[in-house]
Chains A and B, each alone.
Chain A
Amino acid sequence: MKYPKNGRFGEFGGKYIPETLVPAIEELEENYLKFKNDKKFKKELDCYLKAYAGRPTPLYYAKNLSEKIGGAKIYLKREDLLHGGAHKINNTLGQALLAKKMNKKRIIAETGAGQHGVATAMACAALGMKAEVYMGYRDTIRQKQNVFRMNMLGCEVHPVKSGSKTLKDAINEAIRDWITNVENTYYLLGSAVGPHPYPVMVRDFQSVIGNEIKSQMKKINNKTPDTVIACVGGGSNAIGTFYPLVDSNSEIIGVEAAGHGLKSKMHSATLSAGSKGVLHGMMTYLLQDNEGQVTETHSISAGLDYPGVGPEHSYYKDTKRIKYHAATDAEVIDAFLLLTRTEGIIPALESSHAIAEAVKVARKSKKSENIVVTLSGRGDKDIEEIQNYLNKHDKN
C-alpha cells in the first residue's frame, strides 16, 4: 500500500483525533507530501543519514552464530551501529528536518526505553532546534541512563505519572501538550503509530533499512532474503525492514514481546493476543479488556512495552502477508547471551526478540537458505536490566 487513501490500511489506521489537532495534522500531511519527493530535501536528509548517522549500515554474516545453530545462514542488519545506538535516528532526522522546513520552533516527543528520546535530542541538537520529551515515570527509572543522555543533549525530560506510567501514557501526555501548544509545536512521534500521516511517514523514513537489505542481499547472492525477521513494539524498525520486501517472495516474520507468556497477561504481544480498537488516533489491534479499556503491558524491554501496534502491521496480519510470532522474556535473554557470546555483539533487548525467532527459524531451515534479522539497536542501555534478571534467575 503505497500511500494509503484516507490514511487507511484496509480497515486500520485513520485519524481519530481531537478537533484542535486537525489543522496541525493537515498541515503535516501537506508538508510531508510536498517534501518527500523534493530533491533538495532528500539530498539534505541523505547527507545527514550518511555523514551524521552512519548509513548505510552493514549487513553482517553472523558465521559463528549460524554454524552453532547449524541451519540457515543468519545475516544481521546492523542498525545497532547507527549514531545513538538504534534505528530511531532514521526517523528523527527525517521528521526534525521536516519540522525545520515547516518553521516549527518547538519539538516534542514521547519515549519508551529512551532511544527515541535520545535520537530526537540528537537530531534536534544537530539541526539547532529545542526538544522536550515525555517519558513514563516507570521508564525514567529503568532507563535512567537515557534520561541523563537526553539532559546532556540539552533536552528537557518530563516524567509522566498518569496511567501505567509507561510509553502509552507518555504518548497521551505528548498529545495533550500538542493540543495545548498546537500553533508552534511539532510532535515528533517515534514509531509507526498514531493518526495518519504518522504511520506512513515513519514507515517511509525507516524504509531505508529494507531498501539497503534488498541491495545488499542482491550483491551477496543476487536474490531477496528467504526470510526477514524484526521485532515489533509499535513496529517502526519492522515496517521499515518489511515494507520494501512485501511484494517479494521473502517470508516475513514480526516478533512481539510474549513477556511471561501469552497466557499470563504479562506481555505486550498486541497482534498475537489483541483485538481491534481505537487508541492514539488510530484503529489497530490493541491489548484491552472486554469493555474496551486498554490494559497494562509487560516486557523485559521497555521499547516493546506498548498495548497498540502500527496499523499497517494490523493490515498485514489480517491479510496474512506477514506472520507475527512472540518471544518470552526467558527466550529473549537466552538469545541475547547467545549472540553476545558467539559474535561479540551486544543486542538491545528489543532486537533480541528478533534474534530468538531467527534461532528457531534457522534451526528448521536448510544451510542454503538466508535469514536477515534487523538488529534494531545495541544493548548497552540494557545491561543493568539484564544483570538484575540474571541475578534473580541465577543464570550467571
Chain B
Amino acid sequence: MTRIKEKFAELEAKKQKALISYIMAGFPNEKATISTVRGLVKGGADIIELGFPFSDPLADGPVIQNAGTISLEKGTKIAKFFSIVKKIRKETKVPLILMTYTNILYHKGYAKFISEAKKAGIDGFILPDMSIEESKEYLQAAKNKADTIFLISPNTSNTRIQKITKASSGFLYLVAVFGTTGVKTGIKKYTLDAIKQVKKQTKGKIPIGVGFGVSTPEDVKKYIKAGADAVIVGSAYLKLIEKTPQNKLELKITSFTKSLKKQTIL
C-alpha cells in the first residue's frame, strides 16, 4: 500500500476528509519550500503536492505560471528537486505527489524518472496533459512504484470516467471548473453535480479530490459537504508565500492550513 492509500484509510477511520496542499518547489527559493512544507505539516495538511516547473504549463493560470517561471529562473533542476524531496522525507512521512507536465518525465524516460523520484520519496504523480490514451508506457513505468492520479473534468463522459478510474490509483482529481488553476469563479452547480456523478460512477472504489479554484475554508466546507473525499488548494498558497516575509512563512502557512484542515473534520 502506498503512503497515499494508507493516508486515505487512516482518515476514513478518523472520519476525516483529506486536505491536499499544492506548492511550487523552489518558489521563491529552496529555503522557502522547506519552511512552507514544515508549516503545511504542522497545520495538518494530509498530502502535499510539489509542483516541478515546466516551461509551457498550459493547464495553469497566472499564479502557478509565475511561480514556475521564478522557480526555473532560480535554477530548479530535476536533481535539485529530488534533493529537496529527500530533505523533506527526513522530516516527515506525509505523502508527496509530484505535479508536472508529461515532457519532463518523457524526456528522462518514464521508468528512469519514476524510479529516481520514488527513491527520493515521491509517492504519486499528476500530469495534467497526460490523457489516458497516451498513458500506456507511463502506467507501466509507475506500476507498483507510485500512484498515477488522473484528472476528470465536469464534462467527462461516464464511459471515460470508468476508463480513467481504471488507470488511476491514490485518488481521482476532479477539476472543479472549466478553466486553468487558480481562477476564482465561485462554486458552480455543475461542479456539485459532477461530484455526485463521479461518486456514482466510481462507487467508492477510489477517493475523489476536488481542485482548481479552491482557495478558502468556505470553499473547502462546501466541496466536502457536496461529497468530496479530498480538496486541493494551490494558488491560494502561492499567493500567501509571495506576500509573506521568509521569517514568518512557516507560521503563516501553519495557521492558513489549520483553517482549511478544520473544515475537513466531520
Contact = CB atoms under 8 A, between A and B. Distances in A.
Interface of A: 6, 14-20, 22-23, 162-163, 168-169, 172, 175-176, 179-183, 275-281, 283, 286, 288, 291-295
A320 to B, nearest CB: 24
Interface stretch (B21-29, B126-134, B255-263): B126-134
A26 B1 CA distance: 36
B151 A19 contact: yes
A65 to B, nearest CB: 40
Contact of A16 (B62, B134, B151, B160): B134
Tell me the dominant secondary structure on chain A's binding face. mixed
Contact of A291 (B102, B107, B150): B107
Contacts of A182: 155, 178
A275 B103 CA distance: 11
Nearest to A172: B58
Q: Which of A23, A168, A181 has the most CB of B within 10 A?
A: A23
B133, B152, B157: which has the most chain A beta carbons within 10 Å? B133
Contacts of B69: 162-163
A196 to B, nearest CB: 9
B179 A180 contact: yes
Contact of B107 (A20, A175, A179, A277): A277
A293 B72 contact: yes
Contact of B153 (A19, A163, A168, A294): A19
Given A19-B152, A22-B156, A278-B129, A293 B175 contact: no
B113 to A, nearest CB: 9
B175 A19 contact: yes
Contacts of A293: 54-55, 72, 104
Contacts of A283: 106, 134
A180 B103 contact: no
A171 B54 CA distance: 15
Contacts of A180: 178-180, 183
13 contacts: A19-B150, A19-B156, A19-B164, A20-B155, A162-B69, A176-B180, A179-B179, A277-B103, A278-B103, A279-B103, A281-B129, A291-B107, A294-B103
A316 B58 CA distance: 28
B151 A18 contact: yes
Contacts of A14: 133-134
Contact of B56 (A18, A23, A275, A279): A279
Contacts of A16: 102, 129-131, 134
Contacts of B225: none
Contacts of A23: 155-157
B103 A181 contact: no
Contacts of A288: 103, 107
Contact of A15 (B78, B104, B134): B134
B217 interface: no
Contacts of B102: 16, 278
A19 B103 contact: no
Interface in B71-110: 72, 77-78, 101-104, 106-108
A168 B179 contact: no
- Centre residue among A162, A172, A276, A291 by max chain B CB count within 10 A: A291
Contacts of A276: 106
